[in-house]
Amino acid sequence: MPLKTCSPTRNRSRGQLASGRAIFYSGGMPRADRILIAALVLANACTHARSGSGADATAQAGEAPPIVDRHWLPDTEPGPPRWRPSEVDPRLVVREGSDELGFLEHPCAYHEPCGCLVAAEHRYRRRGDGWAIVVVVPEVEIRRVVKRGTCVEGCGHEQPPEPASIRSLGAIDPRAVEIDVQRPRKVVKRQTCTDPLVPP
């Protein structure tokens, strides 16, 4: 199965990404040349993908609490754990040795081999002594559009998911935080072809 591509790139000398994420070529180009050009084009496209989609997951709508740390997966944190899950909700964490409460903000709603395809959205609003947090995590449906011909799909190497950030909510009771998760439907169209090539 071919890998999905990273990000749009335009106006290449011998090929281009067709309104989405597949590079289509003219029939006269030798296959070896197509693969070489694809590797060069997609190296730039993957770099763009790594620095793009995840950044779109920034907090919106209201005063966002500051990011004070990153969330480490079990057995990967250097040194002793700095945060522990609260008893109210595992998304709310308490800093060891203090009453500071943090919220785990995951940046991506739909991850694929080239990086984050659809970012999550977080909205913060102060509510009395606590916070109201809306987390928008779209349910993504991929619709493929197949074109006749040769194209290149993929990055050649898989990108790991971005780690979650920890936003400081202050020294408050976890029960003063209301978290509302919304899952709207989102359709993403992806172009492919009848003769796909996978970059090295």
140-186, pLDDT tens digit by residue?
A: 999 999 999 988 887 777 778 888 999 999 999 999 999 999 999 99
Q: Between 96 and 31, whose confidence is greater? A: 96
The total of other beta-carbon atoms located within 10 Å of residue 134's CB is: 17
Tens of pLDDT along 129-143? 999 999 999 999 999
Decide: pTM greater than 0.85: no
Convert 100-167 into a string of H (helix), E (strand) and C (coil). CEEEEECCEEEEECCEEEEECEEEEEEECCEEEEEEECCEEEEEEEEEEEEEECCCCCCCCCCCCEEE
**Cα dist. 174→13, 150, 161, 171, 181 in Å?**
56, 55, 27, 9, 17
Start-to-end CA span in the chain (Å):
14
Query: What mean pLDDT is reported for the chain?
Result: 76
**pLDDT tier, 17 (very low <50, low <70, confident <90, very high otherwise):** very low
